């Protein structure tokens, strides 16, 4: 299932990927630095980074979307 990531600050969808990997986390960090450059918590770890984003598993036509506010389980 694809993962849709949107930013809590700018309310935009910023990423849609099959799974979260190191490259995607770096992209989210760059987005957050551009979106909220004064946030001192940037760079303090994956859990802290992902609290700025809404992470949603996008299911196909079989079911409804499931949202997870804490995206730590997607970082591998």
pLDDT tens string 29-58:
889 888 877 877 666 777 788 888 999 998
> At residue 7, does pLDDT exceed 50?
yes
- CB half-sphere exposure, 6, CA atoms < 13 A: 12
Mean pLDDT of the chain, nearest integer: 79
pTM for the whole structure: 0.68
The count of other CB atoms within 10 Å of the CB of residue 49 is 20
CA–CA distance from 16 to each of 28, 40, 48, 55, 59 (Å)? 11, 26, 20, 10, 12
Using 50, 70 and 90 to split pLDDT, how confident is the model at 76? Answer: very low
Please give the structure tokens belonging to residue 10.
Answer: 């700018």
Which pair of tokens denotes residue 6?
């949107």
Residue 14's domain spans which residues? Answer: 3-74
- Give the chain's radius of gyration (CA, Å): 12
Query: What is the total count of domains within the chain?
Result: 1
Average pLDDT over residues 5-21: 92
């Amino acid at each position: 299932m694809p993962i849709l990531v949107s930013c809590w600050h700018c309310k935009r969808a910023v990423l849609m990927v099959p799974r979260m990997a190191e490259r995607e986390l770096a992209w989210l960090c760059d987005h957050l630095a551009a979106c909220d450059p004064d946030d001192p918590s940037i760079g303090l770890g994956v859990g802290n980074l992902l609290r700025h984003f809404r992470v949603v598993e996008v299911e196909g036509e079989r079911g409804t979307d499931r949202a997870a506010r804490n995206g730590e389980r997607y970082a591998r």
